[in-house]
Amino acid sequence: MDRRGTVLKGKYELLDLVGSGGMAVVWRGVARGTENFRKEVAVKRILEKYRTSGEAIEMFVEEARVGAALQHPNIVQVFDFDVDEQGHHFMVSEYVRGLHLGDYVKAFASFPDGAPWHTIAAIAVETLRALDAAHTREDDKGRPAPILHRDVTPSNILIDSRGVVKLADFGMARALDRERTTQPDIIKGKLSYLAPELVLGQDPSPRSDLFALGVVMWEALTGKRLFDAGTDVEVVEAVRDARVPLLTAQRPGLPLGLATVVHRALEREPELRPASARDMLQAITGELRVLPSTTDSTSLSACIRQAQEALGRR
């Protein structure tokens, strides 16, 4: 059983449990080397009850393979993948010290206007840079080999203390050059962030990720859930219908251009959404250009510190 102080392969020491999901947990750890080398890392482990599940292991291996294939400043980097002394898998990636977008928005819940719209837009731009890198990926021979995230949610958009945005957890990703790792009738991802075509059993596309980011932005800008319901069936029905209340009615004073970009990403029909992550990125960047103040990493860092203070964190 994993506990604080456990050392994997004589190199990775587990320090604090920082996250838990449906099938895995994440530890803050440290990589130890010779000459007192130490580096803070994140260590992901399959939950103990799933460690003998062939499907869970296959998904975990796929996550590591996909993560290692993506090298970009806005994507959490995978450093290592191995098995421990008992033969159980673990993945080592960079540790992002900061907040995820969900907590960032929560920190501004008591503010009259919620989270600053320009910082939400700036965070979306950096997330779109990550998605663009994944969607336009090429293999070693220069052939298109796109990767879809399929789980763009607030908890997977990380902002570190320096104001750098990182997209995490490609565990739900599907590399288009490989077969599905689960049965066709199993829909991966968190229900309220799925695109309508996915709940209808259709194949995902880059525009499915853009829809998910549209949901994330709508919620971050309003402080409300978009597709909220009492049961999973009702959530699926709401996603399928994709009826989206007007952002400008939910948040008066929001620039019309930005609201239009978000609503376009939330179109029910994929072909009506932005053609690519890059197109959506450029549209949001155009809105940010009219701001009198900057939205660079320094200003984002200041916003993160403000949010951490509001949440009582350091």
90/175 Cα distance (integer angstroms): 20
Three-state DSSP state, 116: coil
Long-range contacts of 55-61 (CB under 8 A, 24+ apart): 55/181, 55/182, 56/23, 57/89, 58/181, 59/23, 59/171, 59/181, 59/182, 60/24, 60/89, 60/91, 60/171, 61/89
146/139 Cα distance (integer angstroms): 9
In contact, 69 and 121? CB cutoff 8 Å = no
Three-state DSSP state, 110: coil
What letter does residue 284 receive in the DSSP assignment?
A: H
- Kindly give the residue spans of alpha helices, DSSP state H, lying in 152-255: 196-199, 206-222, 232-241, 247-250
Lookup: tokens for 268: 């029910």
Residue 296 among the catalytic residues: no
User: Nearest 10 degrees: CA dihedral of 11, 17, 21, 26?
Assistant: -20
Catalytic residue among 151, 160, 169, 209: 151
Burial of 232 (0-12, 13-18, 19+ CB in 10 A): exposed
The residues annotated as belonging to the active site are 151
